[in-house]
Amino acid sequence: MNAPNKSGWKPEMQAAESGFLGGPVTSTGNRGLMLKEPLLFEIGRADVTGVDLPEVDASAPTRLGGLARSEAIGLVGLTEPETVRHYTRLSRQNYGIDLGFFPLGSCTMKHNPRLNEKMARLPGFADIHPLAPQNAVQGALEVIHQLGEWLCTLTGMPAVAMSPKAGAHGELCGILAIRAAHEARGDAREVVLVPESAHGTNPATAAFAGYRVEDIPATPEGRVDVAALKARLGPDVAGVMITNPNTCGLFEKDFREIADAVHAAGGYVYCDGANFNAIVGKVRPGDLGVDAMHINLHKTFSTPHGGGGPGSGPVVLSEALAPFAPLPFIRQNASDGSFYLVEEENREERGPSFGRMTAFHGQMGMFTRALTYMLSHGADGLKQVAEDAVLNANYILRSMEDILHAPFGASGPCMHEALFGDKDFTNGLSTLDVAKGLIDEGYHPMTVYFPLVVHGAMLVEPTETESKAAIDQFITAFRGVVERALEGDEALKQAPYYSPRRRLDETGAARKPKLAYEG
């Protein structure tokens, strides 16, 4: 038996493909109560069924017309126990926030309070239909309207578009509003500037909207190079897309100076609000000169990541861009207090809107959960959310920087996420090996290789919903795996050993996926 290293981990398990330390390779492929689960097609048979169905008269008329099936569909027949066991076993191989800590950076995998889930399941919210008459859904319209008011208050912006279905969808909404504003004044522009420290969706969104994207470099301290940005501004620049706090985990302290310069050049400022969790209740983006900013309700206001229906990425807009907000949007009658939707047909209220992002406000579950979160916390509670998230991230940063490269640790406190690199790893070990090693410790890995400005990046975000005890436990495991990487532990190259599947060929999985079952 090999002696344990500093972390107490023994590397002799690599000989056992099953993952057992010195144990036998079982004939079933199961590991204790973690059962190996085949595909449904490998469990059942296509020539049988799990239920008794009446015989069908093949000559009887149907409503299918020329769409009637001409051959067997090939679906397998399963009993109820087989079906239930299959999905239950698969669920036990999944990792979720109810099982443990998610250290993913730039994703804010925070706990979803059960109170929010209870409210979202109330009759009238859970079973609402988008084509219901407006006088029958006044409560739902009021929820959307009240949530929009909260978002405007928290951001210091005068208007909000509630229809975008996700963060990237919200980015597109903001960029289309910027394009519409330029075109309305006959000033078509071609370029959007995107700093290196921005989220990767920012340049993709600008390109999708038809703009040419140009990079703005970062300073050695991990923030936007203001001088380089100012030097590039000109009559062809439609605007700039900045993530703040940025993906280096830092607040852009020169944001107001940047916004003033962009406005002076005739452009608009788009702020990626995915990291709003770090500043909610502390900073109002409208005060910084932001013209448009999407807000991921799942990141800041605890809704699921699109679970149970569409996600939601509302976009707050400045006074300059508010007239170009997409349809539909909600207004309240001053006379009787009722709520109504402004549709395209209402020409007198439409203004120069660029059109629609989507047919309906289809994210009722997300709206209900987010508003419940806001009302249960209140303004002071939301401020504490940001403070605790930042405190937890800095605790991880200072607890790891003595053994793990922290490229911007000297730039001051980080915000809600701590950024590390793979400098000083030996024996060919890399960030990927550390991530796989964390799986054996019972943790979902942190975000890896992003942002690109740091070699072997590891971006860790604890959020505010993790206790000190939970973070201490993670730090212990994280330090142990990093120590092994610094020592050149060969066994890390084969991790994970205890997961339902061993390490995959990730390049092959991406380039040669098997998407169909071949019996």
Domains of the chain, start order: 115-371 (3.40.640.10), 386-511 (3.90.1150.10)
Name the more confident of 504 and 205.
205
What is d(CA 199, CA 178) in angstroms, rounded to the nearest whole number?
19
User: Which amino acid, one-letter code, is at 155?
Assistant: T
User: Which amino acid, one-letter code, is at 297?
Assistant: L
- For the chain, percent of residues with pLDDT exceeding 90: 67
Which pLDDT score, from 0 to 100, does residue 514 have?
84
What is d(CA 258, CA 252) in angstroms, rounded to the nearest whole number?
10
Burial of 270 by CB count in 10 Å (0-12 exposed, 13-18 middle, 19+ buried)? buried
DSSP element (H, E) containing 124:
none
How many other CB atoms are there within 10 angstroms of residue 341's CB atom?
16
Q: Where are the beta strands (DSSP E) in 229-336?
A: 237-243, 268-272, 292-294, 315-317, 329-332
What is d(CA 13, CA 23) in angstroms, rounded to the nearest whole number?
9
Residue carrying structure tokens 């997961």: 499
- Residue 482: closest CA among 394, 420, 412: 420
pLDDT of 8 strictly over 90: no
Which pLDDT score, from 0 to 100, does residue 4 have?
46
pLDDT of 501 strictly over 50: yes
Give the 3-state secondary structure percentages of the chain, helix then strand then coil, rounded to 5: 40, 10, 50
Mark residue 83 as left, alpha or beta (left: phi above 0; alpha: psi -120 to 50; beta: remaining): alpha
- SS3 sequence of 252-266: CCCHHHHHHHHHHCC
Residue carrying structure tokens 């030097």: 231
Could you give phi then psi for residue 239, rounded to 5 degrees?
Answer: 170, -175
pLDDT in tens, 180-220: 999 999 998 999 999 998 888 999 999 999 999 999 999 99
DSSP element (H, E) containing 169:
helix 167-184
* β-sheet bridge partners, residue 268: 239
pLDDT in tens, 103-140: 999 888 999 999 999 999 998 888 889 889 999 999 99
Which pLDDT score, from 0 to 100, does residue 134 have?
92
The pLDDT of 278-301, averaged and rounded, is: 96
pLDDT of 14 strictly over 50: no
Neighbouring residues of 259: CB distance < 8 A, sequence distance ≥ 6: 269, 288, 289, 290
Could you give phi then psi for residue 120, rounded to 5 degrees?
Answer: -70, -20
User: Residue 456 half-sphere exposure, CB side, CA atoms within 13 Å?
Assistant: 20
Does residue 499 contact residue 94 with C-beta atoms inside 8 Å? no
How many other CB atoms are there within 10 angstroms of residue 245's CB atom?
24
Return the structure tokens found at 255. 């944001």
Does residue 11 contact residue 489 with C-beta atoms inside 8 Å? yes
- For the chain, percent of residues with pLDDT exceeding 70: 92
What is d(CA 297, CA 274) in angstroms, rounded to the nearest whole number?
9
pLDDT in tens, 52-110: 888 878 788 888 878 888 888 888 999 999 999 999 999 888 888 889 999 999 888 99
Name the more confident of 289 and 363.
289
How many other CB atoms are there within 10 angstroms of residue 410's CB atom?
10
Does residue 453 contact residue 248 with C-beta atoms inside 8 Å? yes
pLDDT of 25 strictly over 60: no
Distances (CA, A) of 160 to 322, 328, 330, 398: 8, 11, 10, 38
> Residue 360: pLDDT band by 50, 70, 90 thresholds?
confident
- Residue 475: closest CA among 449, 426, 424, 441: 441
Which pLDDT score, from 0 to 100, does residue 6 have?
47
Does residue 297 contact residue 311 with C-beta atoms inside 8 Å? yes
The radius of gyration of the chain's CA atoms, rounded to the nearest angstrom, is 26
Angle of helix 201-208 relative to helix 167-184, nearest 10 degrees, comes to 40
Neighbouring residues of 37: CB distance < 8 A, sequence distance ≥ 6: 86, 89, 90, 93
Burial 271-308, CB ≥16 within 10 A → b, else e: bbbbbbbbbbbebbbbebbbbbbbbbbbbbbbbbeeee
Return the structure tokens found at 481. 């795996």
How many other CB atoms are there within 10 angstroms of residue 212's CB atom?
12
Name the more confident of 501 and 228.
228
Name the more confident of 133 and 360.
133
Return the structure tokens found at 167. 């963060």
What is d(CA 385, CA 380) in angstroms, rounded to the nearest whole number?
9
Return the structure tokens found at 319. 């006074």
Largest CA distance in the chain: 82
* β-sheet bridge partners, residue 422: none
Mark residue 264 as left, alpha or beta (left: phi above 0; alpha: psi -120 to 50; beta: remaining): alpha
pLDDT of 323 strictly over 70: yes
Instruction: Note the pTM of the prediction, 2 decimals.
Output: 0.88
Does residue 173 contact residue 164 with C-beta atoms inside 8 Å? yes
Dihedral sign from CA coordinates of 62, 63, 67, 71: negative
Taking all residues of the chain, what is their mean pLDDT, rounded to a whole number? 89
Rank 105-109, 345-349, 426-430 by mean pLDDT and report only the highest. 426-430
